[in-house]
């Protein structure tokens, strides 16, 4: 799985993503979105998934974070879709239940080329610092729709919004790591194609 580079330039944002599913080409993640909390979550995601990730983003942050967060999800999803090609030789399915202190979150993934997104999360606060918690849903939806995979995110409980968010991104990382695990079958589908 080779290094994939994707860009998206609009009147609102400029996004550049480099992604390496093997983690060999990008030694350390380099995340610079202009949004400190998102940088933190994406660094956690890269580290726990083992995916090499470089993201540079410039956006209309003076308006709010929405366009930048959503567009990063779009470009990261497109890069993931390109890197997965025909989804051959991978486990396809992955799940993880990750605690972060009092918070507990389940993420389940099917990397088949069928986009579906289910999100069952309630944050106790509307913001984490300056970051709107509702943008986590927007990011994940953009990621799964453009990555062409099924993604279910369920937070069972939690009192601290930062802990809930961190459990989501870590669970996403570990679920994806399991779904990307190499297997001997060419394609894990009775259809013979995904």
Q: What topology does CATH give the domain 4-179?
A: Ribosomal Protein S5; domain 2 (3.30.230)
Give the per-residue pLDDT at 184: 84
Residue where the block lists tokens 């279910």: 152
Residue where the block lists tokens 């993934």: 109
Question: Domain limits of the chain?
Answer: 4-179
Summarize the confidence of residues 70-92 as an average pLDDT.
Answer: 95
What are the DSSP E strand ranges found in the chain?
Answer: 4-9, 13-20, 30-32, 52-59, 93-100, 103-110, 116-120, 127-128, 131-132, 150-157
Which neighbouring-strand residues pair with 127? Answer: 132
Rounded Cα–Cα distance for residues 20 and 192 (Å): 26
**Mean pLDDT rounded to a whole number for the chain:** 94
Residue where the block lists tokens 């890197």: 83
Torsion of CA 183, 147, 9, 67, to 10 degrees: -130
Per-residue pLDDT tens over the stretch 147-193: 999 999 999 999 999 999 999 999 999 999 999 999 987 776 667 66
Per-residue pLDDT tens over the stretch 91-112: 999 999 999 999 999 999 999 9
Q: How confident is the model at residue 117 (pLDDT cuts 50, 70, 90)?
A: very high
Q: Are strands 127-128 and 131-132 parallel, antiparallel or unpaired?
A: antiparallel
Greatest alpha-carbon pair distance for the chain in Å reads 50
Rounded Cα–Cα distance for residues 111 and 176 (Å): 9
Tokens of 105: 């979150």
Per-residue pLDDT tens over the stretch 12-60: 999 999 999 987 776 667 999 999 999 999 999 999 999 999 999 999 9
Give the angle subtended at the CA of 17 by the CAs of 132 and 69, to the nearest 5°: 15
Ordered strands of the 150-157 beta sheet: 93-100, 103-110, 150-157, 116-120
Q: Are 29 and 44 in contact (CB under 8 A)?
A: no
């Amino acid at each position: 799985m080779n290094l994939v580079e994707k860009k998206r330039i609009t009147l609102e944002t400029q996004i550049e993503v480099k992604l390496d599913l093997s983690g060999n080409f990008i030694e350390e993640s380099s995340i610079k979105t202009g949004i400190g909390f998102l940088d933190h979550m994406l660094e956690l995601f890269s580290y726990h998934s083992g995916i090499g990730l470089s993201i540079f983003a410039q956006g209309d942050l003076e308006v709010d974070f929405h366009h930048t967060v959503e567009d990063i999800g779009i470009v990261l999803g497109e890069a993931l879709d390109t890197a997965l090609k025909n989804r051959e030789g991978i486990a396809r399915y992955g799940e993880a239940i990750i605690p972060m202190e009092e918070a507990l979150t389940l993420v389940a993934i099917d990397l088949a080329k069928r986009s579906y997104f289910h999100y069952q999360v309630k944050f106790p606060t509307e913001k984490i610092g300056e970051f709107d918690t509702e943008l986590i849903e927007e990011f994940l939806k953009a990621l799964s729709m453009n990555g062409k995979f099924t993604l279910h995110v369920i937070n069972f409980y939690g009192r601290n919004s930062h802990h809930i968010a961190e459990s989501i991104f870590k669970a996403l990382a570990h679920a994806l790591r399991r779904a990307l695990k190499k297997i001997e079958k060419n394609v894990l589908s009775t259809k013979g194609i995904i």
